[in-house]
């Protein structure tokens, strides 16, 4: 009995040899931790006769959860960090859209199955315009987007209020 080389990491057969008579083969299949199905073959040979057994193992459905209350953030212009709770049953990774990568960063940037807390750091917005960045968490074919909108800085006179500003007469 033999297992094809490409499947030998997740398929095994016992016994691998035997004599004449009726026998029961025990095929062991390890857990498929990938979201994709996989196929392997076991070949049973006796003399010039061979029979191929094809085994297909399905992948599992990836689950990725982030509380809906943590998918949209409205932030002040100050430098700050926010925390996002993440649950996933597979490996995952994080990306920041290119337009926001100069002012948004995320730690950790990847991880395995389990419960995790992402820390998203936001630099101070020194401009007057608000800005929006997107952080995407992906696992297999599943992804979640986290939107962060940061207000612009409101500039105010450094000396008191309007009463301290010079006034010129109308001519």
Give the pLDDT score at 18. Answer: 85
Q: Do residues 120 and 97 lie in contact, with contact meaning Cβ atoms separated by under 8 Å?
A: no
Query: Residue 115 to residues 68, 134, 149: CA-CA distances in angstroms?
Result: 16, 21, 25
Residue 165 has pLDDT above 80, yes or no: no
pLDDT digits (tens, 9 = 90+) for 116-155: 999 999 999 999 999 999 999 999 889 999 999 999 988 7
At 27 the three-state DSSP class reads: strand
**The model's pTM:** 0.65
């Amino acid at each position: 009995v033999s297992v094809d080389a490409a499947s030998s990491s997740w398929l095994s057969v016992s016994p691998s040899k035997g004599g004449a008579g009726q026998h029961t083969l025990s095929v062991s299949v390890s857990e498929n931790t990938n979201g994709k199905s996989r196929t392997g073959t076991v070949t049973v040979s006796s003399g010039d006769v061979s029979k191929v057994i094809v085994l297909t193992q399905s992948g599992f459905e990836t689950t990725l959860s982030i509380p809906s209350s943590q998918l949209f953030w409205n932030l002040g212009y100050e430098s700050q960090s926010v925390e996002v709770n993440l649950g996933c049953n597979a490996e995952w990774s994080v990306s920041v859209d290119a337009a926001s990568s100069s002012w948004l960063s995320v730690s950790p940037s990847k991880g395995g199955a389990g419960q995790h807390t992402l820390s998203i750091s936001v630099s101070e917005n020194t401009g007057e315009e608000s800005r929006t960045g997107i952080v995407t968490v992906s696992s297999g074919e599943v992804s979640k987007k986290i939107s962060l909108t940061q207000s612009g800085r409101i500039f105010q006179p450094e000396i008191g209020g309007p009463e301290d500003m010079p006034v010129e007469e109308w001519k």
